[in-house]
Structure 1
């Protein structure tokens, strides 16, 4: 049984899903237990999704590590976080971008958003902007983005979202057909896509 954040990190390393020292350091900083509601604290480090409220969950650690390794966040990046939920990934991202970067995190569900804001406030991160609102209403406001992470599954990733990326920018987002998609912007009009099958996320709502 995994009973500590360090044991969870060692588990992710042993499974080969956690590879980079920078992401390891960010996971050490953003202890998952601090983002889990009280009656699930004993299960905080298990490798499965945990309910936040209303059937919506904080993603399982192996999926988060997998997506963030693909995202390859750099110091100083401008990052969009869609479906920010509990705030766990937002805080991890804020650690990865450093004080010269910025994370814009949006959560549409008001009950979850209240929890997420409280969680983020524990860390006093001045490089996270977290708002309870439909992300689609806001993602044009802070572009361009070096990296985009979504924990909500799109029917199809919107073209206007892809166009908020800088050249060589990356989006990691699930789609409702069970794929996680990594899309890199090669130039103004061309994108390269990789797909990874076998994942389930709540649908994107606006």
Structure 2
């Protein structure tokens, strides 16, 4: 079992869904309210494998929603790491925080996103950034928060995009077509 499979086994999706929609074994996006979804497990697994999260890393989870991806990332980084989830919608921040409070991963949390700031530049650089909403174009503010040697996975205009910061210029590659809710930005 690889690290991502182990994280999925340790973090039950149904604990991050609304009552009445708890079909965590369903391989499809599931509504979590406010026009947002808990992403399809197969897609999340692909994103996490591309992200290549390691124990002890500092990770940003943009569009944390219900807290499921934040908890998965928390499992992957372990207690020596740190996961900072950000969510724009206050109702989902509360929902995600409540879900995370029932875990044994105090190194992973969700905070309210500033509507005028993408990510958490005050806590950067991040070794890994996961974005669970689709951007129209690659957001420079998030690329700027990526540490040298860091990786970011983000859906951009329908393509799953991997950004690798080699220190000089980010390398960008695409890895299949996906559909996500839109990333809300001020641009």
Task: Give 1:172's aligned residue.
Answer: 153
Listed one character per residue, the Cα deviations across residues 149-184 of structure 1 (whole Å, up to 9, x for unaligned) are 000111212223212212210000011x21110010
Q: CA deviation at 1:131?
A: 0.6
Match of residue 62, structure 1, among 20, 42, 45: 42
Task: Give 1:113's aligned residue.
Answer: 93
SS, match of residue 28 in structure 2: coil
SS, match of residue 103 in structure 1: strand
Instruction: State whether residues 12 and 24 of structure 2, in contact with CA within 8 Å, keep that contact through their aligned partners in structure 1.
Output: no
CA distance in 2, matches of 1:51, 1:158: 25
1:99 aligns with 2:73: no
Q: CA deviation at 1:90?
A: 0.3
Structure 1 residues 30-179: aligned runs within 5 Å: 30-41=11-22, 43-134=23-114, 136=117, 139-175=120-156, 177-179=157-159
Q: CA deviation at 1:26?
A: 1.1
**Structure with the largest fraction of helix:** 1
SS, match of residue 38 in structure 1: coil
TM-score of the aligned structures, taking structure 2 as reference length: 0.93
Listed one character per residue, the Cα deviations across residues 31-73 of structure 1 (whole Å, up to 9, x for unaligned) are 01111111112x2211000000022110000000000000000
Q: CA deviation at 1:196?
A: 2.3
Q: How many residues align?
A: 184
Instruction: State whether residues 119 and 141 of structure 2, in contact with CA within 8 Å, keep that contact through their aligned partners in structure 1.
Output: no
In the alignment, structure 2 segments of 5+ residues that lack a partner are none
CA distance in 2, matches of 1:163, 1:111: 28
Listed one character per residue, the Cα deviations across residues 73-130 of structure 1 (whole Å, up to 9, x for unaligned) are 0111000000000100100000111111100100101122211111111103210131
In the alignment, structure 1 segments of 5+ residues that lack a partner are 1-19
TM-score of the aligned structures, taking structure 1 as reference length: 0.85
Instruction: State whether residues 51 and 151 of structure 2, in contact with CA within 8 Å, keep that contact through their aligned partners in structure 1.
Output: yes
